[in-house]
Structure 1
Amino acid sequence: MSAASCLLTEDQFLCSICLDVFTDPVSTPCGHNFCKACISQHWDTKVPYQCPNCNKLFHTRPELLVNTFISEMAAQFRQSAQQKASRSSSEQQVVKPGEVPCDVCTGTRLKALKSCLVCLASYCETHLEPHLARAGLNKHQLIDPVENLEGRMCVKHDKLLKLFCKTDQVCVCMLCTVSEHKTHDVVPLKEEYEGKKAELGKTEAEIQQMIQKRRLKIQEMNRSVELSKEGADREIADGVQVFTALKESVERSQAELIDTIKEKQRETEEQAEGFIRELEQEISELKKRSSEVEQLSRSEDQLHLLQSFTSLNAAPPTKNWTEVRVRPPSYEGTVVRAVTQLEETLSKQMKKLLELKRVQQYEVEVTLDPDTASPYLILPDDGKQVKDSNVRKNLPDNPKRFDYCFCVLAKQSFSSGRFYYEVQVKGKTEWDLGVARESINRKGKIAPSPQNGYWTIWLRNENEYQAGASPSVRLSLKSQPEKVGVFVDYEEGLVSFYDVDAAALIYSFTGCCFKEKLYPYFSPSNNKGGKNSAPLIISPVNPTE
C-alpha cells in the first residue's frame, strides 16, 4: 500500500467542493467522490440534484454510502501529509520578534512566507502549499508577509479595500463608492499606487540629487582645505627662506662685531697692561651678550624675539674709561650698524618675494606645439614636456618646424599685455628658455639673440649660465635653478627670468620693441649620452602667497 501511495498525489484526495482532503468520502451514481457533508449541504441548497463535477442530473436524491476504499486511502494520505508537514516545520524558521507569524500553525509558530489578501491570513511554507497547488486558491492575491491584514478591510462594510478616494485621500471598498463616497473621484487602488509610486520615484531622485549636491559640497570643502594646506606649506617655506637669510645675516653681523671688539681690545692691551683684568671681564660680559644675541637669533618664537630685541639692541654695559689716561675703545654704533645691515638684508629678501608674487599673477596656459618641434624631440600628448629622443623621426617638413636645432614653440601666442609661465629644469645639464617672435628662422643653425627675434637664457656644461644678448652675458647665480619663471610685459618691452625657488631675478631684457606675436620658446638640447636626458616640464604656478 505504501508503495502505491507514492504514486498518488494530493489532488486525487481533494474534495472538489471544500478543496480539502476527503472526510467521510461518498460516491455518486456517476462515480465522483465528495465529502459526505459537502455533497449533502450542496444538494440541500441546489435543486434539482446535480453532480458538481459532471453536471449529471438525478430525478431523485441518490443514497450516499461511504466509499471505504477511498476513505482508507484519504486517511493514510492525511497522516502522511501531517508527517511531512511536521518534518517540514522543523526545517522552517521559527518566527522571530519583528517577523510575521503563520496564522495556521498551532504550537510552535513558523515564519510566514506570504500573506493572502483574499483569505486575510499569512502562511508558512507548509500551509502556503494549497494556495500554490489548488485550482481554486492559486488565483488568490499573495503578497510578502504583512501584519494586521484586517486593516486591509473596510471597517464599515467588511469588504476588501480595493479603491482609492482621491477626494478624501483614503482607501475605500466597493460599497463605499455607492454611499458616502458616491460623488467623489474614486480610482482603482493599483492606479493610485502606480501614481504615488511614480511620485516616490521622483522624490527619491530629488533626494539623491540633494545627496549628490552635498557630496560635491563636501568635496569642494575638502579641496578648499587642501588648497589652504598648500598655501600654508608655501607660506611656511617662504618664512623659512626669509628667516634663514635673517639668521645668516645675524651670524655675519655677530662675527663682525666680535672681531671689531677684539681688535680694539688688543689695541687697549698694548696701551695699558694694568687694565687687562677689567677689560677681560668686559669681554666676558660681551661674549655672554653675544651668546644671548645668538640664542635669540636662532629662536623661532617670533613674539619672544621681537620683545627681547629692544633690550639687546641697547649699547653693551661697558665701563666708561674717559677718566683713565689710556683712551678706551669706542663701540658706539657697532650694534646699530649690524642691525641696519640686518634690516637691509631682510628688506631685499622681501622685495624679491613680492616681485615674484607680482609677476606670478599673470600666469597663462602654455602647451607645446608638435607642428613646430624638431624631428629629434619627444612630446607627450598633453604637450607639457619635451626631451631629446636621440632618433630623428620622419615628420613632414612644414614651414613652422625647426629642422636642425632641438627647439619647439608653444601653441599659444601673445601680442599684448603680460604673461608668465614656469618650466622645471631640474636634472638637466643644458637647456634654452625664453620667447621668440613669429617670423624667426626655423631652418638650419640658429643664433638666439634679440636681433634674430629671440630673447632667451641658457645653461651649458652643467653650470655655465648666459643670457642671449648681443653680445651674450655671462650670468653668475648663487644657486642652480630647478624651476625657471618667464615673464613678459609686451607694451613695456620687458622679458624677465626668475629662479622660482630662490625668488630671485636671474636676468631681464629691457627696452625691447615688440611688433609681432611672441611664442614661448623651449630647447631641451641634446641628451649628451644620457647626462641631459631629463625633460623640460611646463609646471603649474604655485603662488608664494
Structure 2
Amino acid sequence: MDAVELARKLQEEATCSICLDYFTDPVMTACGHNFCRECIQMTWEKGKGKKGRRKRRGSFPCPECREMSPQRNLRPNRLLTKVAEMARQHPGLQKDDLCKKHQELLKLFCQEDQSPICVVCRESRDHRLHTVFPVEEAIQEYKLKLEENMKHLRDEMMKNEKLQIKEVQILKEWQEKVKNRRERILLEFEKMSLFLAEEEKRLLQALKKEEEEISEKLEENKAILDQQRHSLEMFLLELEDKNEHSALQMLQDMNDPFISLKMQHPEAIPTVLKTVCRVPGQMEMFRSFQVDVVPDVETAYPHLLLYESRQRCYLSSPVESTLLNRDRFLAYPCVVGQKTFSSGKHYWEVGMNLTGDALWALGVCRDNVNRKDRVPKSPENGFWVVQLSKGEKYLPTISTSTPFTLTEPPSHVGIFLDYEAGDISFYSVNDGSHLHTYSQATFSRPVQPFFCLGAPKSGQMVISTVTVWVKG
C-alpha cells in the first residue's frame, strides 16, 4: 500500500460517518461503532419523535448497523481521538484534497475544466472525453508557469522601481523649477515695483518742476499786473485831485505835462500740461481683460453704415424698419455693443479716422438710456463718455453738464471698465498715456459700450472688425 493510499485509509478511520468530518470527542456504542459524541446524541434526539417503532426503553439504533444500543452506554475512545488529531495535522489528509462528490483523492487534473478530479470523476460522462493527466504533472506545469509569471512580475517590479526613481527625480526637478520660477516672479515683480516707484517719482518730479515753472511765470505776470494796477490807481487819484481845483487853477495846470503810462501786457503762459501720465506695462495688463466688442445693428442710428470686414458685407438695416425697433437710436448717429456688462473688468479698443470737426463720443452707457430724444451725454443721464473733436465747432448742448472733451484725440483709444469699482478709464493706445477717468461711478444697471459719430463725411470709426460711418 503506497503512502497516499495509507493516508487515505487513515483519513477514513478518523472520519465520523454522520458529519463526514474528523472525529471530535469520539465515543463507541455497544455494537463497536464510533461517532462524535455530539453527532450521535443529536441523531438519537431526533429519533425520539418518530413513531411506529418498537424500541427498548432508553435504547436507540446504531446509525451504522441499526443494532439497538443503550443511550447511556457510550464509551470514550481516546485512541481514536489521537488518530483524528494525527489525521488533521497530516498535510496529505486535508479536506481540500478530497473530491467533494466522491470523497476520493484528487489525483487527476482536467485540462478543459482546469480543475483537479478524482478517478471516479474521470470515468463520468462530464470528463470522459476530456484531456486528463496526473496532478503531479499539472503541478509541475503550473510551477513552470508560476516561475515564468514570478519572473515577469520581478521584471515588472524592477521596471516599476526604475520608473519610481525616475518619477521621484522628475518631481524633484519639477519642484526645483517651480521654486526657481517663483523666486524669479518675486524678483521680477520686485524689480518692476522699484522701476514703477522710480518712474512714479520721476513723473511726480517732472510734474512738480512743470508746476513750479508755470506757477513762477504766472506769479510774475500777476506781480506785473499788480504793479500796473497800483500805478493806475495813483495816477487816477492825482487826476481826481486836479479835478477838484478851481477853474482858474485848472487853466494854470494845463501847462503841466500829463503823466503818460506805458501799459506792459504780460506774456500769455500756456497752461497745457506736458507731463503725461503713462504707466509702463499697463496696456499689456489691460489687454488680459480684452473682450470682442461688436456693434449691435438693431440699435444703430438709421443713417449709420456698418461694414463687416471679415464677412465682407454691410450689416446696416433698411431705413424703413427703424421705426419698428424701439431700441434704435433716433436722435444722434449712435450705436451700442451687443454685450452688456454687470460685473468684472473689461477692455476694448476703438480705432478712429477723424476728418471733420464734428463731435464724436466713446465710452459706456446704461442699457436703458433714452434713445429717442436729444439728451446730454452725462453721467446723470446714464452716459460715461469722452468727446473727441479735431476742430473748434461742437454740437450744441442742452445742459452745461458736458463730458470731457479731447481736441487732439489719438487714432486709437483703449477703454477699461472696472464695474465693481465704478471706474471707466480712457487711454491712448499709441503711447499708453492716460486720457480721462470717471471714478466711483454709480452704474446701478448693466452697461454697454457706446459709440457716437459726427456728421456725414467726418470720418470713420473701427470697432473690432466693423467699420462705422455716417451715410452722407
TM-score scaled by length of structure 1: 0.31
Structure with the bigger RCO (C-alpha within 8 Å, sep 6+) is 2
TM-score scaled by length of structure 2: 0.36
